[in-house]
Structure 1
Amino acid sequence: MLENLEVPSASPEGLILAASLWASGLTTRAVRAMLASGELVRIRRGIYALGDTWRRAETDDRYRLFVRATVLAAEQPLLLSHHSAAALHNLPIIGPWPKVVHAINNDATGGSSARFTTSHRSVVEPESIALSGCSATTLTRTLIDVAASASFLVGVTMMDHALRVEQERVQGEHRRGISGTPALSKDELYGELATVQPRTGRAQARRAIDFANPLAANPGESLSRVRIAELGFEVPELQVRFVVHGQEYWVDFFWRGVRKIGEFDGKVKYTRGVILGDRHPGDVVVAEKDRENLLRPHVNSFDRWDWDTAHSPRRFYEFLVEHQVPRA
């Protein structure tokens, strides 16, 4: 029924306003039928998405749709912040996204919650930028707000990602002969923390900045680092280079004192993503095994773990003890 819905908001990635449905000639009864059949999904009252778009969307994309729909439905302009700004900055999260949209509102008394929106007061009026048609806090401010209010794991994961992506951006611009803005640095984060002066979570945010490392290649490595530290084990070096038969190899984790290599095996590397590329998953597995066999003679041990192991503190603790990872 949506073939004639020729409006920008009906794009596969977009939201569909009720006004667009009525303008296309659809009746209330027809819209209800499409909702019942799954052809349409209601995100907020009067705001919809294509059913196929919603079903194919990852959790991150669904939350972004919800955030954008809430901005459209708001009676007053929203300045997105915290997790909601983080989602629009494409920052990763370990754990669920919130069920509400976070925004800065200095008219709120000490922070307030509504059914779909949680408002926060700010000591310093935040700078805003435009993201996906919404007004949101800057990347630096967003990282500080999240680190001060969320878990240490979430704060570190987002900071690791942002620092790495920013370094990759600058390196890419340099290769193309572009002189752009400098990469986000820890100094900027410390400076933003001093400026923001969050009422709570200041020490936790500083700890997250201290611990953040752009060498963490993905959220699984960030998760592993945080768990290793929290469980009382020695935090390893990241992305250490080995040269075997004139060929360079980089490993995720290295405990130099005991010459132990550690590797985080995310299932994504065998199913999709840049590591897989156009290769068959089986070929990637064989290549990983060959790489491990080349490296083993140069160290005392080589251990691998997966997402489920790292995510469970109990299982990961048992794994680290069993594989004789040094204590902090």
Structure 2
Amino acid sequence: MLDSLDLPNARNEGLILAESLLASGLTTHAVRALLANGQLVRIRRGIYALGAAWRSGHSEDRYRLFVRATVLAAEQPLLLSHHSAAVLHGLPIIGPWPQVVHAINNDTAGGSSARFTTSHRSVVEPETVTVNGCAATSLPRTLIDVAANSTFLVGVTMMDHALRVEQERAEAERRHGTLGPPLLTKDALYAELTSVHPRNGGAQARRAIEFTNPLSANPGESLSRVRMAELGFEIPDLQVRFVVKGREYWVDFFWQSVRKIGEFDGEINYTRGAILGDRHPSEVVTVEKDRENLLRPGVSSFDRWDWDTAYSPRLFYEFLTEHDVPRA
């Protein structure tokens, strides 16, 4: 029976419409059986996803499917905004994704909520783009909306990621001699903030722009910097280069005043992504340890922390104090 789901699943990039199931020869009784045994998951009425894919996906994958399903189910076209636009733009979040879909709708009272959607009014007509077949606010507008209406941590994490990816794109285009769209910069974010001029959260959005740094290599490093600022510790230099025995090494954080190296040691480094590549996790750990041993003689200390430590203000405060990280 699962073979009958292949075509409907591929047609809408993971979303399966009820009419597609019926067109594939499945009866209503068969669809109910697939739901009962977990092979299908209902996302919205008449819209499904493969159960295995839903359960194995990350939270952003499930929220992205929910957003797209809500667009398909809407009686009127939706202009996605805030977190819902952010997930389509591929922006990361620290903390949970919302349980509703955010959209711009000037025909409703600002901030009004229905069961599945929260509508926002916009004084300035937003620039729109199409992502995954959905209309969404542009990347700069999305970043401003999220920063103004969410926590400082979420705003900085998304801005760090966006600016880093944009710089990587520009560097790749430079190497290949191609020309893409204009580079997203802090100046562009300031200009967008001035244009939008949000009634609430403008100061927080401006603070996020001031604090953001494209040298943050991943959300864990963004989290660490935000916690340092919140707890009153000195913000270190990022991605600092060391040369040892003729070889280059780069470290996440470096406090020049006390010659201290800090590294965010997220589990993600050893489970997936470019750092792991095709190597076994144990090999990666050994290489990291050898690298640390080479760098230690040239600095006062080399300290590592993980997700749980950085996420907890109490634990991170104790860690930074115990390891003599300088105060701001």
Q: TM-score range by the shorter chain?
A: over 0.9
Cα 1:268–1:6, aligned 2, differ >3 Å: closer, same or farther?
closer
- Contact (CA 8 Å) 1:261, 1:302: kept in 2 or not? yes
Are 1:243 and 2:259 counterparts?
A: no
Are 1:78 and 2:78 counterparts?
A: yes
**CA positional deviation for 1:224:** 0.1
| Structure 2 CA distance for aligned equivalents of residues 147 and 303 of structure 1 | 31
| Structure 1 CA distance for aligned equivalents of residues 247 and 113 of structure 2 | 56
1:268-294 superposed Cα distances (whole Å, 9 cap, x missing partner): 111121111111111111111111111
Runs of 4+ in 1 over 3 A off after TM superposition: 4-13
SS of the residue corresponding to residue 41 of structure 2 reads strand
| Structure 2 CA distance for aligned equivalents of residues 81 and 62 of structure 1 | 17
If the length of structure 1 is used for normalisation, what is the TM-score?
A: 0.98
1:165-192 superposed Cα distances (whole Å, 9 cap, x missing partner): 0000011111111122232100000000
SS of the residue corresponding to residue 19 of structure 2 reads helix
| Structure 2 CA distance for aligned equivalents of residues 31 and 227 of structure 1 | 48
- Look up the equivalent residue of 1:258 and give its one-letter code: V
| Structure 2 CA distance for aligned equivalents of residues 193 and 279 of structure 1 | 43
**CA positional deviation for 1:22:** 1.4
Are 1:202 and 2:214 counterparts?
A: no
| Structure 1 CA distance for aligned equivalents of residues 6 and 263 of structure 2 | 49
SS of the residue corresponding to residue 252 of structure 2 reads strand
Deviates more, 1:293-302 or 1:176-185: 176-185
If the length of structure 2 is used for normalisation, what is the TM-score?
A: 0.98
- Look up the equivalent residue of 2:93 and give its one-letter code: I
1:99-120 superposed Cα distances (whole Å, 9 cap, x missing partner): 0000000011122000000000
Cα 1:196–1:12, aligned 2, differ >3 Å: closer, same or farther?
closer
Aligned positions of 1:281-296 closer than 5 A: 281-296=281-296
- Look up the equivalent residue of 1:206 and give its one-letter code: R
Name 2:125's counterpart in structure 1.
Answer: 125
> What are the ranges of 5 or more consecutive residues in structure 2 without an aligned counterpart?
none
Name 1:61's counterpart in structure 2.
Answer: 61
- Percent sequence identity over matched residues? 77
**CA positional deviation for 1:199:** 1.1
| Structure 1 CA distance for aligned equivalents of residues 324 and 185 of structure 2 | 34
SS of the residue corresponding to residue 273 of structure 2 reads coil
| Structure 1 CA distance for aligned equivalents of residues 210 and 112 of structure 2 | 31
| Structure 2 CA distance for aligned equivalents of residues 84 and 173 of structure 1 | 29
- Contact (CA 8 Å) 1:13, 1:53: kept in 2 or not? no
> What are the ranges of 5 or more consecutive residues in structure 1 without an aligned counterpart?
none
- Contact (CA 8 Å) 1:99, 1:116: kept in 2 or not? yes
**Aligned Cα root-mean-square deviation (Å):** 1.2
**Count of equivalent residues:** 328
